[in-house]
Amino acid sequence: MVKNNLALQFSINIAVFYLFCLAVGCTPETSNFDQDGALAANDPHSYANIDEVVVDHISLHFEVDFDAKVLRGTARLDIIQLSHTTQLILDTKMLQVSDIFLDNGDRVKFSFGKENRVFGTPLLIPILPTTKSVTVHYTTSPMSEALQWLDASQTLGKEYPFLFSQSQAILARTWVPCQDSPGVKFTYDATIQTKPNLLALMSAKNGTQKNADGLYTFKMKQPISSYLLALVVGDLSFSSTGRNSGVYAEPAMLDKAMWELTSMQSMIDSAEVLYGPYAWEQYDVVVLPPSFPFGGMENPRLTFATPTIIAGDRSLVSLIAHELAHSWSGNLVTNETWNDFWLNEGFTVYFEQRIMEKLFGKEYEEMLTKLGMGDLKTTLAELKSDGKEDDTHLYLNLAGRDPDDGLTDVAYEKGRFFLQTIEALVGRQRFDAFLKKYFNDNKFKTMSTKRFILYLNDNLLTQDEQVQIQVNKWIYGPGLPNNAPNPHSIELDRVEGVIAKYDNNRITAKSIDTTGYSTHHFLYFLRGLKNLNATRMKELDEAFGFTQTGNSEIACDWFKHAIKQEYKEAFPAMKVFLTSVGRRKFLTPLYSGLAETPENLKWAREVYAEARPTYHFVAYNAVDKILE
């Protein structure tokens, strides 16, 4: 039933697209493929001929080989033919393909197209008009960019090896031959064979106990995009946090993680009240080793999370609210291409803030919002000074570029403030009703920016409101339009007063009253300081112990100042930080700051030589460019 429904939906989407083009007077783009394969016109980051044939289910069978650092097995792809094509083109990168069979048993002579450093290599498979599935026998590369293989020494327990994947944005093709485009959704099942003392989990229905034989089976009956394919294998334990939620972590981390994430079930309940039922049955979080390159990854049913959110005071749990919100915005309704990335992230940040407001109050939400605007303005200024003003648009043109280039605060924060601007004009009641309808009408489908604008105008905005919102300026224009909100926070106002006094030498660091300060107060304080030098850095350090803080967010902002002010007392602690944390959000600004002077660049390269083997590809790919 799922396959037939998906086929029908895909055909309907194509028909709607052509009708839309006729209505607005444009010509639909088509894909032309030569024998080597070419990037598709309807997705500039995929080789797949999705206008001719579409994958709607994948069956994976893997052996996890920790010694060779490879996955070895098969992928059977069930396909729906949309035209009389004789070829299926899949995205691959560094895969060693041995055999390919059609569903009639025929072994086919496949070929690879031209290799591209970013996009990999198209796999060209001859098929028949009657072909309904192909099975690819292959082995991943030890250098697969999605897969991070950790030795036991790189884990908390120090006893067993660990493996995790990171498929977003276009890294799924480095461990699964697929149509690696967010515009293609499919269901999947899998069988994973690993060592008996390890637990395997996927972005699917998971067990909670290790199997004696190390054999695990998975089913994902809801359709997802390839970037949401996920696998983790390690010494993991589970504990429930409520009706349909729980936490996986290494045994030594589980109690801390459970205490930190105790609000997970309340988050789910609050989200459902806002925008409708949670569509994925179970919501779990797995806390990964420190080398995970992101704060979190919204893999359906199983959010991947960095241990840097385990701060000991529950101050960083908004990240979990963000990943949970993706269960609606992103996983349920998905950006059609990476040029439409803001549709995933802008909606999610807006939704995250609504969850946090509901759980922790308006004043808490206002702090997060004001910090978000500060981050956005910094990013906009940096992009403009780097000559990348086009990257300050919500709708991006990433053709020929790594889609990770679009992973900036623009998609997240400018997208969120665009939605807040709409809410402020039409009122929360109308906007909530619109969003609930949006998620319901488009669930398990993809959305493009053009179609979203049509949907917004048809279902919410009057003509006068369309003019007032300035939709085109927000989406297709640079920077912030003149109707952008100006966030206000009573809590951060009092911090602003402290900053002004300290910058003007009217108070000392030790006289600052930080009673009731959360992580967010300290971040605003550190980001606002202007008149610093090494002496004042030492004074602040003696008062607040910033150099030795266990809070990664505060540590990163403090180390930025330490670099700029040449506060060498903090450099040993910074080295520990850089060699033990693999989160790209922290690594890129610190290495960028260090690269600005020859002495610090030399030091950074020495630290990086030690740290790089512990980083995921997503992280070291960014840092390599900084330190070249």
Number of domains, the chain:
3
Q: Does 390 share its domain with 361?
A: yes
Catalytic position from the list 275, 350, 395, 412: 412
In the block, residue with structure tokens 């989407």 = 13
Asked, for residue 277, whether it belongs to a domain, the answer is no
Q: Is residue 563 included in any domain, yes or no? A: yes
The length of the chain in residues reads 628
What angle do helix axes 598-611 and 584-594 make, rounded to 10 degrees? 150
The enclosing domain of 619 has a CATH number of 1.25.40.320
| Residues 458 and 523 occupy one common structural domain | no
395 noted as active-site residue: no
Domain match, 7 and 62 both? yes
125's enclosing H/E stretch is: strand 121-126
CB 234 within 8 A of CB 163: yes
> How much is the pLDDT for 449?
98
Longest dimension (CA), the chain: 82
Q: What is the DSSP string of 273-334?
A: HHH---TTS-EEEEEPPTT-SSSEE--TTEEEE-GGG--SSSTTTHHHHHHHHTTTBTTTEE
Gap between the Cα atoms of 213 and 368, Å rounded: 46
108 shares a domain with 40 = yes
Q: With 80 as the cut, is the pLDDT of residue 348 above it?
A: yes
Counting Cβ atoms within 10 Å, is residue 135 exposed (0-12), middle (13-18) or buried (19+)?
A: middle
Tokens 């803001």 correspond to 342
> Could you tell me if 379 and 528 lie in one domain?
no
**Residue 12 has what pLDDT?**
37
Whichever domain contains 48, its CATH number is 2.60.40.1730
Provide CB contacts within 8 A for 274, sequence distance 6+.
351, 354, 355, 358, 432, 435, 436
| Residue 108 neighbours by CB under 8 Å, 6+ apart | 100, 101, 102, 125, 126, 127, 134
412 and 517 inside one domain: no
At 356, which CATH number? 1.10.390.10
Burial environment of residue 167 by CB neighbours within 10 A (0 to 12, 13 to 18, 19 or more): buried
pLDDT band at 1 (very low <50, low <70, confident <90, very high): very low
pLDDT of residue 34 exceeding 70, the answer is: no
Confidence of residue 27 (pLDDT cuts 50, 70, 90): very low
Summarize pLDDT for 542-568 with one digit per residue, the tens.
Answer: 999 999 999 999 999 999 999 999 999
Q: Quick count: other Cβ atoms within 10 Å of Cβ 59?
A: 16
Look at residue 15 and tell me whether its pLDDT is greater than 60. no
Average pLDDT, the chain: 93
Do 53 and 181 sit in the same domain of this protein? yes
**Inside any domain, residue 589:** yes
The pLDDT of residue 37 is 57
Nearest to 203 by CA among 294, 334, 303: 303
Question: Pick the catalytic residue: 260, 323, 345, 365?
Answer: 323
Q: For this structure, is 323 an active site residue?
A: yes
Inter-CA distances, 536 with 161, 423, 545, 560, 575, Å: 44, 43, 13, 15, 22
Q: Please indicate, yes or no, whether residues 470 and 557 belong to a single structural domain of this protein.
A: no
The 10 Å Cβ neighbour count of residue 516 is 8
Rounded Cα gap, residues 500 and 396, in angstroms: 38
Q: Is 70 helix (H, G, I), strand (E, B) or coil?
A: strand
What confidence category does residue 41 fall into, taking pLDDT thresholds of 50, 70 and 90? low
Predicted local distance difference test score (pLDDT) of residue 23: 34
Q: Does residue 323 form part of some domain?
A: no
228 in any annotated domain:
no
Q: What is the structure's pLDDT at 492?
A: 96
What residues have CB less than 8 Å from 99, skipping those under 6 apart?
107, 136, 137
- Comparing 210 with 26, which gets the higher pLDDT? 210
Structure confidence at residue 307 (pLDDT) = 96
Percent of the chain at pLDDT > 90 equals 92
CA dist 433 and 447 (Å) reads 19
Boundary (domain end) residue, out of 418, 449, 476: 476
Q: What are 75's strand-pairing partners?
A: 60, 136
Q: Which domain holds residue 379?
A: 333-476
Mean pLDDT lowest for which of 19-28, 247-256, 413-422?
A: 19-28
Helix (H, G, I), strand (E, B) or coil at 366: helix
pLDDT attached to residue 40: 67
- Residue 26 located in a structural domain: yes
The pLDDT of residue 450 is above 70: yes
Instruction: Read off the tokens for 91.
Output: 């995205």
> Residue 321 falls within a domain, yes or no?
no
Same domain assignment for residues 209 and 345: no
Q: Which of 92, 142, 164 is nearest to 582 (CA)?
A: 164
Spell 313-331 as b/e; 16+ CB within 10 A means b.
ebbbbbbbbbbbbbbbbbb
512 & 446 share domain: no
Q: Contact, 196 vs 212, CB < 8 A?
A: yes
Last residue of one domain, picked from the residues 417, 450, 476: 476
Tens digit of each residue's pLDDT (9 = 90 or more) over 486-495: 999 999 999 9
Whether the pLDDT of residue 455 is over 80: the answer is yes
pLDDT 10s digits, 492-548: 999 999 999 999 999 999 999 999 999 999 999 999 999 999 999 999 999 999 999
Residues 91 and 193 in one domain: yes
pTM, two decimals, is 0.91
Q: Are residues 418 and 516 in the same domain?
A: no
- Gap between the Cα atoms of 364 and 345, Å rounded: 21
Res 39: pLDDT: 76
For residue 133, tell me if it sits in a domain.
Answer: yes
Residue ending a domain, choose from 201, 221, 241:
221
